[in-house]
Amino acid sequence: MIFKKHRLLVFLGLILIILASACSNEAKVEPKKTDEVKLTTDENKVYIGFVLDTLQQERWYKDKELFEEKITELGGNVKTLAANGSESVQLAQAKLLIEEGVDVLVVVPYNADAAAEIVELAHKANTKVISYDRLIKNADVDYYISFDNLKVGELQANEVLKHTTNGNFAYIGGAETDNNAVLFREGAMKVLQPQIDQGKINLVYDKYTDNWDPAIAEKNMLEALEQTSGEIDAVISANDGNAGGVVKALATNGLDGNIPVSGQDAELDAVKRIVAGKQTMTVYKPINLLAETAAEMAMKVAQNEEIETNNAVNNGKIDVPSYLLEPETVTKENIDSTIIKDNYLTQEEIYGN
């Protein structure tokens, strides 16, 4: 748990990486104060590295802050780096943290397959890897912690079917490089396929969304509307960011609020759309539970303590010891008893004064 020597060179390299990341084409938002790198000071403490795909979406700030707070509370040191949606930057950041001597590397992969190289590099340095929220594919990952992502897709499709049981459906997926996006679609199709086979549903549009970019989701939805002359009866959107793009596209055709649209992540804007009747549902995944459980796991792994798992998920190479949490449907009717009750969002944030 003692940092490796040549720390000054590593730190200078880190600054160059961060500058490169900030100049990346993916960086479209002004960094918040929470983007600043948290440097470690006590060399006798457990040192955890947290490598994020991005901080450009609302939910990842919550993960970052909650994870860091829990590690600190448990007596560890932590440094978080975000790659701004760049595969090469994420690899470079992981290398730097490994060279600094992190005891455990917790990774939210940008690219599920490419991140296998991070695992290989970490293991060469005897550093354990926890795959956080998104599964790293085809690698000897030590642990995986996430939500039941197949169930997320099932919840989305089931709630939409409560509002529309037939007609033309569009699926606006996430980034295909994200294994979760594949699982969300698989879960949704598990629900939709019987209806498709019976001829009740026509899946007229089915496309992933590069980089989970809401602007691309909007473009895809406009394409679906054009291809069907505006005849869309329901939309399964893989997350809330995409749902925002979908609703914008529907609005150009006067359809916003008239057809069901799913989402995920319980983002504030999405919950406001649910209240306004523009979005049908979101999937609430208690980020506080995910981040804090992951932090506890990381500290235990670093100290060679016994790790509790409740599942094993195959990543194409091994069955990864996993801990999966339960997601929950949120609609207009249960906002108060879910996300407000958990203080995930406040009543004032959602409804105003």
Q: How far apart are CA 293 and CA 74, in angstroms?
A: 12
| Residues 128 and 168 reside in one and the same domain | no
Reading the chain (353 residues) residue by residue, the pLDDT tens digits are 444 444 444 444 544 444 444 444 433 333 333 333 444 446 689 999 999 998 877 778 889 999 999 999 999 999 999 998 899 999 999 999 999 999 999 999 999 999 999 999 999 999 999 999 999 999 999 999 999 999 999 999 999 999 999 999 999 999 999 999 999 999 999 999 999 999 999 999 999 999 999 999 999 999 999 999 999 999 999 999 999 999 999 999 999 999 999 999 999 999 999 999 999 999 999 989 999 999 999 999 999 999 999 999 999 999 999 999 999 999 999 999 999 998 899 999 999 86
The answer to whether position 1 is within a domain reads no
Buried b / exposed e across 291-302, counting CB within 10 Å, b at 16+? bbbbbbbbbbbb
Domain assignment present for 137: yes
Cα gap 232→155, rounded to integer Å:
20
Assess whether 158 and 237 both reside in one domain: yes
- List Cα–Cα distances, 133 to 3, 106, 337, 351, in angstroms: 27, 10, 24, 29
Strand, coil or helix: 294 = helix
Task: Give φ, ψ of 253 to 5 degrees.
Answer: -110, 10
- Model-level pTM? 0.77
Q: Is residue 238 part of a domain?
A: yes
In a domain? residue 2: no
**Pair (301, 281) in one structural domain:** no
Do 94 and 42 belong together in one domain? yes
Give the list of residues 6+ apart from residue 161 with CB closer than 8 angstroms, or none: 191, 192, 195
Same domain, residue pair 302 and 275: no
Claim to verify: residue 240 and residue 307 sit in the same structural domain: no
In a domain, 95, yes or no: yes
Same-domain pairing of 278 and 189: yes
Q: Facing residues of 128 across strands?
A: 104
Residues 327/285, Cβ–Cβ less than 8 Å: yes
Structural domain boundaries, residue 102: 7-141+286-326
Residue 96, in any domain of the structure: yes
* Residues near 353 by beta carbon (within 8 Å), at least 6 away in sequence: none
Q: Indicate whether 209 and 334 sit together in one domain.
A: yes
70 and 135 part of one domain: yes
DSSP SS3 for 139? coil
Burial degree of 331 (CB within 10 A; 0-12, 13-18, 19+): middle
Looking at the structure, do residues 171 and 118 belong to the same domain, yes or no? no
In the chain, the number of structural domains is 2
CATH number of the domain at 226, please.
3.40.50.2300
Asked if residue 24 and residue 135 are part of one domain, the reply reads yes
Residue 342 is assigned to a structural domain of this protein = yes
Helices (DSSP H) in 74-147: which residue ranges?
87-100, 116-124
Give the DSSP letter string of 28-82.
-SPPPGGGS------TTS-EEEEEES-S-SHHHHHHHHHHHHHHHHTT-EEEEEE
Asked, for residue 341, whether it belongs to a domain, the answer is: yes
Shared domain check, 193 and 279: yes
